[in-house]
Amino acid sequence: MDMDTLLNENVMTDDGCFHMLVTGRTGSGKSSLINALTQQRLCKVGGGGPVTQEIRDYSWDVVRDDAGGRETIRTVITDVPGFGEEGRHEERQAAMLDRLSSTHLILLVVGAPDRAWELERLFIQEVLARDPDFPILVVANKIDLMAPVRQWNPRSMDLEHPSSEKERNIAAWIEALRRSCGIHARRLFPVCSGEAFEDTESRYGLEELKRGMVDAVPDARKAMLARIMNVKLDKDATAGGIIWSAAVAASVAAATPIPIADMAAITSIQAGMIVALAHTYNCTMTLGTAVGLAGTAGCAVGGRLLFQALIKCIPGIGSVTGAVIGAAVAGPMTLALGYSFRDLFAGGNFQPTRKEIQQRMEKNRKKAEAQAESLKQAAGHVSGRGGSV
């Protein structure tokens, strides 16, 4: 398999869209929630009957100001009906699990005052059994329907310190839902998305949900989703998380005793990191451009990584020392690269020259190498549990 094929498999499979899956029982308010989040009439809203009959993908384009002009970011929202319906639930659950690898976030919508939550609990268990870190959130929708129904004032609602009968009933229902689903509070968000699209005055909790969605996704996706949802980020902190995750992933990838696959996997990780960093600092960048930048940066220290890859081919050496040394080089190298592009992008330089990149790489090299032991421990933890970074 040649390098181009490996890069296509490891880097180019991403279509550049954010993929979100929304599911829940009939009447839970899925369609209203999607419309409220997007502020568009994407979905038809009914009066309690099953509006959505088949799995449907909605494309939602958001235009944001970009460092290089204006950027259009596409979100694909998959609306999955049939949750909990006799004769359809198992089929639809299987379809959702099949899409898991191409989905970045799941919203499981539960409508108040429903208390039949066994299928929701089992679905969450199935998702987390496949990936314990998968971002699946429970949206406790229609909380305005909790008794007393007519008393609804979202602006004065205080669920952290409930005092009114309405607040106490909502808080108790939310806690019961959380316990039944077996999830941490950070995965559950109380919301009122409103019955009608124009009913903005009745909405509650949407901004908190948007922030929770951004917090839930991996660092490499945070900046993209934050721009889609118009949520402000601590850019430097987000960039730091992206860089560290990529460096750990590179360390794990460098342990593979196949030289060419090692190089392709590391290149794809670094390119993805650069794209995510560019998004963090409000710039759209293609994977092809990022691969070029990673290659330019690698010229400064890449010879060492290539040397370690070749060592793995020597009988009696590669299988023992090659993996260890390769990881020890790949991780810090990726850290230095990430720090360098973070510095450049934060300063508004999205088209750095080779000299500028190499100067930054040399400046950040020692800082990165000083963290080699921490990277080794983090990579060992990931490899040991068989999980993803």
- What angle, 0 to 180 degrees and rounded to 10, lies between the N-to-C axes of helices 235-253 and 372-385? 70
**What's CA 11's distance to the chain center, in Å?**
16
Contact present, 142 and 111 (Cβ < 8 Å): yes
Confidence at residue 387, expressed as pLDDT on a 0 to 100 scale: 42
**Phi-psi region for residue 48, left (φ > 0), alpha (ψ -120 to 50) or beta?**
left
Q: Which residues contact 290 (CB under 8 A, 6 or more apart)?
A: 270, 271, 272, 274, 275, 278
Low-confidence ranges of the chain (pLDDT < 70): 1-14, 46-52, 66-69, 256-263, 298-327, 383-389
- For residue 1, the tally of other CB atoms under 10 A from its CB is 10
Q: How far is CA 224 from CA 62, 174, 306, 352, in A?
A: 11, 30, 33, 22
DSSP-assigned letters across all residues of 6-18: HHHHHTTT--S-E
* Residue from 275, 325, 281, 284 nearest 305 by CA: 325
If residue 21 lies in a helix (H) or strand (E), which one and from where to where?
A: strand 18-24
DSSP-assigned letters across all residues of 256-305: SS-HHHHHHHHHHHHHHHHHHHHHHTT----HHHHHHHHHHHHHHHHHHH
Pull the structure tokens for residue 178: 């959380």
Confidence at residue 174, expressed as pLDDT on a 0 to 100 scale: 98
- What angle, 0 to 180 degrees and rounded to 10, lies between the N-to-C axes of helices 259-280 and 287-311? 150
- Let me know if 321 is exposed, middle or buried by CB neighbors in 10 A (0-12, 13-18, 19+): middle
Quick check: helix, strand or coil at residue 78? strand
Contact present, 210 and 236 (Cβ < 8 Å): no
- For residue 132, the tally of other CB atoms under 10 A from its CB is 10
Q: Is the pTM of this model over 0.85?
A: no
Q: What is the pLDDT of residues 299-335, one digit of tens each?
A: 545 444 444 444 444 444 444 444 444 667 788 889 9
Contact present, 279 and 371 (Cβ < 8 Å): no
Residue 139 φ/ψ, nearest 5 degrees = -100, 110
Confidence at residue 198, expressed as pLDDT on a 0 to 100 scale: 85
Confidence at residue 48, expressed as pLDDT on a 0 to 100 scale: 54
Confidence at residue 329, expressed as pLDDT on a 0 to 100 scale: 79
